Homo-oligomer: A and B are copies of this chain.
Amino acid sequence: MQPSRLPRGRVPPHLTGYDAPINDITQEVLKNLEHIGVDVLIPIGGDDTLSYAKRLHDEGVNVVAIPKTMDNDVYGTDYCIGFSTCVTRTIELTHRLRTSAGSHERFLVIEVFGRYAGFTALLPTMAGAADRCVIPEHPLDAERLADLLTHDRNRNPSRYSVVLVSEGARLASQDDMVFESDETDMYGHRKLGGIGDRIGTALKELSSKYNHGRRIDVVNQRLGYLVRSGDPDALDSIVPMAFGNLALDLIVRKEYGRLVSIHRGFYDSVPLTSVTSEKKIVDVAKYYNTDRLRPIYHFDGAPLFIMTSD
């Protein structure tokens, strides 16, 4: 939860004078940083962490930031620590679930994190983990998905098919995201969840229309935090070492207010302001086939870690 937008109930009890419904306690943060004697702050995180990092930079704190979020949706860098391992793990866990889906001859509906950006559903699908994917950037026509997945299942000798669903995805006929409850996370976002289950239910109902009147059952699995658990892969072992060194290089040169980054395949850094300037999401026209509900398989001239480099 950002110290600049703190609900009254979350203000630490020893602080007085913050009685508004939403409070900005940044002055207290600054006092503490000064008291501890922090010369340079190196915040590591995603959009929320980094946008508050920019706020502190604006307040005069020496900041060099490192992008780290498995969603890979920080504007200004092609890559954020954790994304590759998230893809590696999603592929691994999805493949593990195939035997269960196949022995029951069902649809396998797997929900992954990804609130605004569908990279974590699109990349594993491109890598062969799933037949189709549903991403936040394009509202889903559930009928179309039921049609495609039934077709995928029936031409698979083991009689199952797989769809990866981002937690932030939504049905075309639906007004807003599906909310598990009215609760919010520590940055004030309402907590998402359940779109995988809802799509699973829809598929079960719609499948009979495309399967000679017989309904197809569903295995639902939310991968949740499992995709950010376990050993980091090669890229997520090398990039943190590089980003850490780059941050120290910037500090040595007293170049503050910067975000270390990867730009078109090379290590670099950008002004921290880029973080808040724009959202980084999947370019649907370029990378998502809205008719086939899967990636566009066009690679000539594309970046190595496809679609993360724009």
Contact = CB atoms under 8 A, between A and B. Distances in A.
Contacts of A221: 222, 224-226
Nearest to A250: B300
A42 interface: no
A37 interface: no
Contact of A91 (B201, B237, B249): B237
Contacts of A222: 221-222
Contacts of A88: 88, 233-234, 237
Given A128-B241, A299-B267, A100 B229 contact: yes
Nearest to A86: B234
Copies of this chain, whole number: 4
A234 B235 contact: yes
Contacts of A129: 237
A13 B302 CA distance: 48
B230 A233 contact: no
A306 interface: yes
A22 interface: no
A219 B226 contact: no
Interface of A: 78-79, 84-85, 87-88, 91-93, 95-97, 99-100, 123-124, 126-129, 181, 201, 219-222, 224-226, 228-235, 237-239, 241-242, 245-246, 249, 262, 264-268, 297-306, 309
